[in-house]
A and B are shown apart, each in its own frame.
Chain A
Amino acid sequence: MAIRVFLVLVLFLSSAIVSFSLYEDQAGLADWHQRYIGKVKHAVFHTQKTGRKRVIVSTEENVVASLDLRHGEIFWRHVLGTKDAIDGVGIALGKYVITLSSEGSTLRAWNLPDGQMVWETALHSAHHSKSLLSVPINLKVDKDYPITVFGGGYLHAVSALDGEVLWEKDFTAEGFEVQRVLQPLGSTVIYVLGFVNLSEAVVYQIDSKIGEVVAQKSMVFPGGFSGEISSVSSDKVVVLDSKKSILVTIGFIDGDISFQKTPVSDLVENSGNAEILSPLLSNMLAVKVNKRTIFVKVGGEGKLEVVDSLSDETAMSDSLPVADDQEAFASVHHEGSKIHLMVKLVNELDNVLLRETIQMDQHRGRVHKVFMNNYVRTDRSNGFRALIVMEDHSLLLLQQGAIVWSREEGLASVTDVTTAELPVEKDGVSVAKVEHTLFEWLKGHVLKLKGSLLLASPEDVVAIQELRVKSSGKNKLTRDHNGFRKLILALTRAGKLFALHTGDGRIVWSMLLKSQACERPNGISLYQWQVPHHHAMDKNPSVLVVGRCGSDSSAPGVLSFVDVYTGKEITSSDIGHSVVQVLPLPFTDSTEQRLHLIADTVGHVHLYPKTSEALSIFQREFQNIYWYTVGADDGIIRGHVMKSSCSGETADEYCFTTRELWTVVFPSESEKIISTLTRKPNEVVHTQAKVNTDQDLLYKYVSRNLLFVATVSPKGAGEIGSVTPEESSLVVYLIDTITGRILHRLSHQGCQGPVHAVFSENWVVYHYFNLRAHKYEVTVVEIYDQSRAENKNVWKLILGKHNLTAPITSYSRPEVFTKSQSYFFAQSVKTIAVTSTAKGITSKQLLIGTIGDQILALDKRFVDPRRTLNPSQAEKEEGIIPLTDSLPIIPQSYVTHSHRVEGLKGIVTAPSKLESTTHVFAYGVDLFYTRLAPSKTYDSLTDDFSYALLLITIVALVAAIYITWALSEKKELSEKWR
């Protein structure tokens, strides 16, 4: 009965169609948005002119951006498509940023001040090849030198003004691979150097005006080349031979090719394999050999000579012309917690122009890349600034011995996210006093009242905003009563763990994953390792970070246990086996550490933590542990069960063998798995029952072991437009992962992927493309338990003749039935998530990440299979919305309001302590956080609740009571006198 009353109450509360909506002055109160660009690949400085100094960067996230060199802020930025990787960037004519992308087949020019695209040219490309962009550095702005682009086997000359292709030259001949395109400054001849089958060097001379081949020379090199090449001057390159032991200088002065061989062993004793490093230095090259970096000077006749040698961990920039025809380059190396930046002249390595030592955070790792820029100081001497990219992908500008600014670009490639609580506020922790005096408090509220009545002046509005941020105390580092303050733990691809505060998004702590086994482990996933409550309250919570040494799935894994409060690593271990799947088990030991199983590529599983207590807990539940693997390539889903300890093979008692329990095989000629999904394991379901309008009960089939699988016909696995409706069909399954039983199968003819789905409680909502209507569609499937449907009679419940308390087993065949309905949806989708609240009572909203990188909140009631065209009065009262063929897109329900989460990859929701409210965190290139109340904040007063108005009303009422009392006394007295 209580539940019934409660349900009615909830339904009443949610009966009005509430959409998430925000007033403009509320933006930024509960939400924050951070803009990133990703790990920088190329950087070009633009500092010649007076005015704004900027640096143009392109990144591994396919972003081209213009950054303010003074503060590191983004002037403008464009995120290109996922397949549009940037190969080169340059500045032409002093006003256009040129980017070459898609393996040298797309050339774009962007306006330097505002980032507007000026022109775009598609270039011919025949096959995959290196892509090279060279933008002439011309000092005269008015003269239009062509941009030369090599990519896809063609050399193009493109006008920088309008992107017109002036000429193109075909180099797609059999076996010919272009390595370098060089144009001596001021010359009209372009040299194209390439190898045929890595054994013959060919040099073409091309007239840069018309694109005709002037001369062609070739020469066979008997040893063969390795393909690593470094150009040292405009008529010489140095290349390694196929054994990587001989450096070959190829000179092609006036088209005559000459080889000069220098064995590496002549330069360095006991040399192993050499490796040419990428920095371009004039008349010099950097070679990595014997774990040291040596500088080899290239003499006039191709003679090589070692001039300097540095430790291995040195990063270098390209050389840069400084005054008096000299070139300088920067190098950065580590020493303890410091880095040393040195700028030297290429010709005189002893002449150090600049030597700076900078304290560097250990958790940034090593320096990966250095980009140098010079400027002329007021005293006419050269000053240098260096842009450095660190191992954790962060970007820093060094100038005058200090870090001028830094950007945490690692956060542009988040791979996994979890949330954690903040420490409880203790007596010792001083809390900043928020309200000072009653007068100020009242003043603040009067201001707020003015704001809500639209009487506030612009200054007042600013004051109100400040006041709101301050009074909410949202940035404190302690737990709050409502659970609004939390830590978001984000693991990045670079293997760095960040803790972000939900209040303002600042980084509370960060930690770089380390490993003994390899230099740079990648971050894969995050798990809640220890969430102390009750008896282990004094312990700090901790998370498990799973990393991997290398990108291959068979690479050995790295585990790290991190204290959430302090950000310190408790322990870390190189586990020696690979990590394919991590299964958090529903058991914890006496210190609240959660048991985890890690499956490797060999078919074994490993138990963590490696303690005897964990082992005994695990042994007890040995028979009840099941898991499944999805083989997307062969179209087989397998269910596994524990078999025995693998003590026969290894002495490791925490290692277990498994056996296959069931398989679901999809016919490979007609079905290909494109998406699988399960419920979130920690999701809370408030009630199993669902009340119909006719007082009927439906029981939700709530099982943790349901797997949603979507398959398409192999032809339809490609892009939209590659298949006709007759050739493609989409089939979805609901599979029980304990028994492998298919509980439901639904087929959509003429549809194709990509499928984006969300699974919660007893329903799945998925988004796919309908080829017949040529529109996106969203389908909801709800699954109900038939076997409990008999339990609706009150008498049965009273007399105990119900099966509600009967044990449920996953082995028995469940009697289920499903309801489903489909709707059109007007946008492509990148990801879908659902809100989650503490008790699961609040109605749910779907959070749809659209292709426009916005997040739309859609009430679950819009995707309810009970919607009909003409709902009855009772259904209307219950809140059933009349059926429409497409789902509404209400602009006010974009939770990201006026922001875009560029490159959106995922949305994570986490409950707060207040039942009505949920945390939403979206990540991609940008980060976005907000707090949502899907049914409005029915359990607390909103921020803009006007206490002042309440107070004024009360005061007015009290005053009125006194006045009327006095008046009535008076009247009574006068009546008595009468």
Chain B
Amino acid sequence: MAPILRSTSLLALFVCHISLFFFFASNLPISSGSEDSYTITGRVRIPASTVIGHAAKFSNIKVILNGGQNVTFLRPDGYFTFHKVPAGTHLIEVYAMGYFFSPVRVDVSARHNGKVQATLTETRRSLTELVLEPLRAEQYYEMREPFNVMAIAKSPMGLMVGFMVVVVFLMPKLMENIDPEEMKSAQEQMRSQGVPSLSSLLPASR
């Protein structure tokens, strides 16, 4: 491979490479080298969305190298470049509102003229190309539950109403089923005992 690549020619190379996409296995030396500093070029791909404001979201994406050492932005085609990166192991993070990206471990090899190896640190998946895709979309708001009769019934007030209904309509039915004589004896028993006080019900306070 040509040791020195201008960024534009590199870009062109990339575009044709992208057309073949993932399964093209070879690792491209993503570098343009003066002595010991290299260039990392990659791409952020966000699944096309029909949501209005998708483009606006796209222009607010930041790509961050090593926790803030360098910050760069995306070109309209989604490419980004970090210039003058020394050989070593680096960390690239992508910040886009509404998406979660895994940080990427990027090894820039000094021996192989700036050959780049990338691994997603969250899933430990290694990338053949530095094409970063969101792990998941993020929703910052709770979704309101749609109107639901069950939800109302389950709420404390719903339970209250339900209990009242039970008392009003089912209790008389239950009372009817009890034998009148038994009822009478029970009532007498209650009268003789008096009204049970609350304190007698609590064994702990005795």
Using a CB–CB cutoff of 8 Å, the interface residues on chain A facing chain B are 21-25, 27, 76, 78, 80-84, 105-106, 108, 114-122, 162, 164, 452-455, 719-722, 724, 754, 769, 771, 773-776, 826-828, 830, 850-853, 889, 891-892, 894, 897-898, 900, 949-950, 953, 956-957, 960, 964
Contacts and interface: CB of A to CB of B under 8 A. Distances in A.
Contact of B67 (A78, A119, A828, A960): A828
Given A721-B88, A852-B62, A117 B74 contact: yes
Contact of A774 (B73, B75, B121, B145): B121
B18 interface: no
A731 B139 CA distance: 38
Contacts of A771: 89
B140 A721 contact: no
Given A117-B73, A721-B90, 5 more contacts: A27-B141, A81-B68, A118-B76, A720-B90, A900-B97
Given A115-B59, A455-B147, A23 B90 contact: no
A960 B100 contact: no
Contacts of A719: 66-67, 69
Given A891-B139, A898-B140, A117 B157 contact: no
A102 to B, nearest CB: 9
Interface string B45-85: 00000000001101110101011111111111000010111
A774 B105 contact: yes
Given A721-B86, A828-B67, A949-B157, A852 B75 contact: no
Contact of B139 (A27, A106, A452, A892): A892
Contact of B141 (A108, A754, A892): A892
B88 A722 contact: yes
Given A23-B141, A774-B89, A851-B67, A116 B147 contact: no
Contact of A24 (B85, B100, B141): B141
Interface string B82-106: 0111101111010101001011010
22 contacts: A22-B142, A23-B141, A81-B71, A84-B71, A114-B55, A116-B59, A118-B75, A118-B76, A121-B7, A164-B8, A719-B67, A721-B85, A721-B88, A721-B91, A769-B91, A826-B121, A828-B64, A828-B91, A851-B93, A891-B140, A892-B142, A949-B157
Contact of A953 (B90, B119, B160): B160
Nearest to A452: B144
Interface of B: 7-8, 39, 55-56, 58-60, 62, 64, 66-76, 81, 83-86, 88-91, 93, 95, 97, 100, 102-103, 105, 119, 121-122, 138-142, 144-147, 157, 160-161, 164, 168
A721 to B, nearest CB: 4
Given A722-B88, A892-B142, A953-B157, A826 B102 contact: yes
A720 B75 CA distance: 25
* Chain A CB within 10 A, most for which of B60, B119, B160: B60
Contacts of B139: 891-892
B59 A851 contact: no
B157 A897 contact: no
A453 B160 CA distance: 19
A162 B7 CA distance: 11
User: Which secondary structure dominates chain B's binding surface?
Assistant: mixed
B146 to A, nearest CB: 5
Nearest to B155: A949
Nearest to B137: A891
A162 B105 CA distance: 30
B68 A897 contact: no
Given A719-B66, A721-B90, A949-B157, A454 B7 contact: no
A453 B75 contact: no
Contacts of B93: 827-828, 851-852
Nearest to B58: A116
B143 to A, nearest CB: 8
* Chain A CB within 10 A, most for which of B64, B91, B161: B91
A962 to B, nearest CB: 12
A535 B81 CA distance: 64
Given A116-B76, A826-B102, A80 B66 contact: no
Contacts of B69: 81, 83, 719-721
A827 B88 contact: no
Contacts of A828: 64, 67-68, 91, 93, 103
B72 A454 contact: no
Contact of A720 (B55, B67, B146, B161): B67
B122 A76 contact: no
Contact of B91 (A80, A84, A774): A774
B145 to A, nearest CB: 8
Given A117-B73, A894-B140, A960-B168, A454 B146 contact: yes
* Chain A CB within 10 A, most for which of B62, B67, B83, B91: B67
Contacts of A121: 7
Contacts of B55: 114, 116
B59 A117 contact: yes
B103 A453 contact: no
* Chain A CB within 10 A, most for which of B62, B103, B140: B140
Contact of B84 (A22, A118, A122, A897): A122
Nearest to A946: B157
Contact of A23 (B76, B81, B91, B144): B144
A78 B71 CA distance: 11
A78 B140 contact: no
B78 to A, nearest CB: 11
A720 B69 CA distance: 9
A720 B91 contact: yes
Contacts of B83: 106, 122
A680 B60 CA distance: 36
A22 B141 contact: yes
* Chain A CB within 10 A, most for which of B105, B122, B138, B139: B138
Contacts of A949: 157
B161 A956 contact: yes
A719 B64 CA distance: 13
A964 B147 CA distance: 30
A45 to B, nearest CB: 23
Nearest to B135: A826
Contacts of A960: 164, 168
B121 A775 contact: yes
B147 A80 contact: no
B62 to A, nearest CB: 7
A889 B100 contact: yes
B68 A82 contact: yes
Contacts of A897: 140-141
- In the A-B complex, the 3 residue pairs with the smallest Cβ-Cβ separation, listed nearest first, are A81-B71, A122-B83, A852-B95
Contact of A120 (B59, B72, B142, B168): B72
Contact of B75 (A81, A117, A754, A769): A117
Contacts of B89: 720-721, 724, 771, 774
Contact of A114 (B56, B88, B144, B164): B56
Nearest to A891: B138
A231 B89 CA distance: 47
B59 A950 contact: no
Contacts of A108: 73
B15 to A, nearest CB: 14
B59 A754 contact: no
